[in-house]
Amino acid sequence: MKVRVTITLKAGVLDPQGKAIEGALRGLGFAGIDGARQGKIVDLALAETDPDKARATVADMCEKLLANTVIENYDIAVLG
């Protein structure tokens, strides 16, 4: 079972990498950029075949390792 975890910074958390991307794009001549925020994804292949169980397991993984829930949100998409 394939699961995609998307981890993004919470609103209000400073994002220097996003700012760097925004600055670099402006430097390349791209105009009309109102903001850029970076995040990360983790694609997991699990032996689990039940979508609900897979989602619960991955939520546990996020809480324990993948996301820093003080400053990050995570979203779990079961891709089947």
The sign one gets for the Cα dihedral 50, 51, 56, 58 is positive
Q: According to the binding rule CB under 8 A, does residue 78 interact with its own copies? A: no
Q: According to the binding rule CB under 8 A, does residue 23 interact with its own copies? A: no
Return the residue of 14, 45, 70, 80 that touches its own copies, per CB under 8 A.
Answer: 45
Least Cα distance to 6 among 53, 72, 54 occurs for 72
**From CA 74, how far away is CA 64, in angstroms rounded?**
12
Q: According to the binding rule CB under 8 A, does residue 59 interact with its own copies? A: no
Would you tell me which residues interact with its own copies (CB under 8 A)? 6, 8, 18, 21, 24-25, 28, 30-48, 57, 60-61, 64-66
